[in-house]
Structures are given as structure tokens and as C-alpha cells.
Amino acid sequence: MNAAPAAVGGEERSPRPLAIRLLNRIGRSAPSAPSLDPAALIARAERATGLSDWGDYDFREGLQVLTRSLAQDSQLNTIGRVLLREYLHRTLSNRLLLRRDLLAHPEILDVEVRRPLFIVGLPRTGSTMLQRLLARDPAVRSLQTWEMFHPSPPPEAATYLSDPRIKQTARRLKSLDWMAPDFATAHELVAGEPEECVGLLQATMKTAAYELMARIPSYERWFDQQDLRAAYADYRVQLQHLQWRHPKDHWVLKSPFHIYGLEALLDTFPDAVIVQTHRDPAQVMPSLCSLFSVMHTLTSDNAPLQELGPNILSRISGVNDRTIELRERIGDARFADVGYRAMVADPLKAIGEIYERFGYGFTPQAQQAMLSWKDANPQHKRGRHQYTLEQFGLTEAAVDRQFARYRERFHQHL
């Protein structure tokens, strides 16, 4: 039995399953809650894997700040604590398994990550379509959802499409669909499709991607003060690990959260190129807020959406301004800009211009594979994602004001 859909700020949301509502209710009166203590999380990962060598990268400070912020700021409900504990457990276990693989095969660190292409664009700017089309190119190495969830042992080319971890991940994603059915409409996760490299970033414990999961203002303040070069060096090792037994010509990777560490990314990958996707911020912001709200309202019973919008607007507009400053300082040679309208109107033309700009070969085989995928995946395949600025305490005037510099710089792509 399900309750009637909840209207949040005028938006009708799918109801939480009865089992989740009961679990949260029971959890409120339980004598103890699932532990997010860093020491307990680390000990659990060591017991589960039988490993204890964590290597040299310092993830512990980030884990400490994150878990403290979750405890103090997020007002997590029971399901939120369970989900975040399990996510952190898998992330920490994967770190131990990565270290095991590196010790057994030190040649992984000799793998060359050549000419990676990073897509940096907010939701609803065409970035997911672009990523999944580019992944159809046989020369492209993409990061699929299943290998981000279960990267060890490193995937092998011969079994890449039949690896049992694909089905294992698909079962896990069904659980997410059950708990948060609105999430698939906002951003569809498919076990055997390319996905944002959020999991690799989160393994560093230094990324704004954790802000998607819950309200963590004290972690945000700490993160904003961090030098991200060591985190991106760790991220690069993760790519080497995944690429070792399944290499291609170059990676295509995507995450809107790379915009927070763009300078560190470009320093870490000296021959990397960036595709920045664009759309009118007044259309992008409510979609972004809605995506955050799906997770925040799942993990907490007190997630004020009228406060969510202004916070996201401030952070995203601020980091966009810093990106403009970076590009003015280093030039645009390593960047390509793609507008949403151009991407939707003629995606292969937009992709052809990207390939030409950066010197990738656009073969007939790649073009045909992209056309086939496009025909099989029409827009709004999983339904329409409905939202308004007002639901999240925003107005179009406020968005225009905060994005004034961005609008001036990229007006031809909006």
C-alpha cells in the first residue's frame, strides 16, 4: 500500500514505499542508529575485504569531515543513514581492493592516460546525450555504471560486455528505482551504459559530488578550502586501473562536479580537453535543484527545499564565474563549447565539430553507431522531469542576476 503522492512546493512526487516509511518510523525510536563513525567504517571495510593496506593517499581527513557534517547538519533519517553507510562502505572497500591490485601489479601505474576528453556541463544541458553518443565510438573508453560500482578486479576487454558485475549492478539499481522512482526520471542509471565518474571522485573524499546526497554545509566549507591536485592524482590512478586490461584510444568522461576542480584536472592531465555544455540557466537551475531534492528528501525527513535552491544557485554560479576566470587566464585552446539547442538539433554536427577541433578521427563506423543509439533512445524516454524555480525558493530574476557574467560570456550558446 502506498500513500498519496506528496506535493512538495507545488511539485507532485512519487510516494516513498511503505516499507521505507515504516523503517524510518521505527528508526526514530530505536536505541541505536547505523554508525557513520569513520573508525567503524574503516574497520568494517577491512573485515569485509581482509585487507588493511590503504596506501599513501590521505582520504581520512575528508571522511572525517564528511561524516561529521552528515551527523551534525543533515538530520538523516534511518534509510538515509543506512544508504550512506553502505555507500561509504563500498567506496572504502573499493579503495582497499584498488591498493591490493596495485601492489600485485605495479605496472598499472605505467598505463598512459592519453588525450582524455572531459564533459563538464550541468544537468539538462545535453551533457548526458553527448556522453552516451560519444561512447558509441569504438575508439572511446567510457566508464560504465557497473565498473564504477565494482572496479576490482580491473575489467578485461574479452569479457567487458558479459562481466557478471553488470547483472549485479542492475539488481542494485532496481533497489534505487524502488526507493526513489523520481531519480530515474531526473537521471537514468543503467548498469551497462556510460555514467558520470562521480564514484571515482567520491573515492577521493574531496568532491562537491557528496552534496548531492544530503545537506552538508560544513563539508562544503571545508571542501572549498582544499587543494585538489592530490585528489585528481588519485582519480588518475583509478583510471589507469580500469584501463589496464581494457584500453582504447582515449577516455570520454563526464561529471558536472569536475567544474569545482577544473584547474587541478587540467594540471593532472596535461593533454586533456574539455567540452563545456551550455543552456539557459533559468531552465537548468530548477532541474538541478530537483535532482538534488530527490536524494535529500530520501535521506532526510527535514530537507527544506526553499533553502536548497538559493544554496545551489550561489555555489554553481560562483564556480561558473571561477571557470570563466580560469579560461580568461589560460585561454580557450583546450575547450569546446556546445549549446543545448545545437546539440538537440543536430548532435552529429556538434560532435563532428568537437572531433575536428581536438583532432579525433570521426569514422563512418562511429557516426553510424551514434545514429543507431540516437534513434533507439528518444528524448524523455523515462518520462518528463517536471519542476519550477519557485519550488526551490528561486526566481528567474535571481538566477539571471547570479549568472550575469556567465550569460555575457556564453550568450551565443544559450
Mean pLDDT, the chain, rounded, equals 90
Q: Model confidence over 136-161: pLDDT tens digits?
A: 999 999 999 999 999 999 999 999 99
pLDDT of residue 188: 74
Between 225 and 184, whose confidence is greater? 225
> Mutual orientation of helices 78-104 and 18-29 as an angle, nearest 10°?
100
* Cα–Cα distance measured from residue 49 to residue 359, given in angstroms and rounded to the nearest whole number: 43
Q: In the chain, how many domains are there?
A: 1
The answer to whether residue 63 sits within a structural domain is no
Q: Model confidence over 199-221: pLDDT tens digits?
A: 999 999 999 999 999 999 999 99
Identify the CATH number of the domain in which residue 140 sits: 3.40.50.300
The answer to whether residue 106 sits within a structural domain is no
Amino acid at 66: L
Q: Model confidence over 312-369: pLDDT tens digits?
A: 999 999 999 999 999 999 999 999 999 999 999 999 999 999 999 999 999 999 999 9
Q: Are 206 and 231 in contact, with CB atoms under 8 Å apart?
A: yes
Quick check: 120 pLDDT over 80?
yes
CA distances from 108 to 200, 259, 291, 413 (A): 17, 27, 36, 40
pLDDT of residue 1: 32
The answer to whether residue 162 sits within a structural domain is yes
The answer to whether residue 195 sits within a structural domain is yes
Neighbours of 198 (CB within 10 A): 19
* Cα–Cα distance measured from residue 233 to residue 264, given in angstroms and rounded to the nearest whole number: 9
The answer to whether residue 190 sits within a structural domain is yes
Q: Which of the four pLDDT bands, split at 50, 70 and 90, describes residue 121?
A: confident
The answer to whether residue 14 sits within a structural domain is no
CA trace torsion 130, 109, 91, 323 (10° rounding): -40
Domain membership of residue 212 as a residue range: 114-413
Q: Model confidence over 9-43: pLDDT tens digits?
A: 344 455 555 555 555 555 555 555 678 999 999 99
Quick check: 268 pLDDT over 70?
yes
Q: Model confidence over 291-317: pLDDT tens digits?
A: 899 889 889 988 889 999 999 999 999
Q: Which of the four pLDDT bands, split at 50, 70 and 90, describes residue 7?
A: very low
* Cα–Cα distance measured from residue 159 to residue 88, given in angstroms and rounded to the nearest whole number: 28
The answer to whether residue 212 sits within a structural domain is yes
The CA R_g of the chain, rounded to the nearest whole Å, is 21
Averaged over 95-122, what is the pLDDT?
97
pLDDT of residue 301: 87
The answer to whether residue 108 sits within a structural domain is no
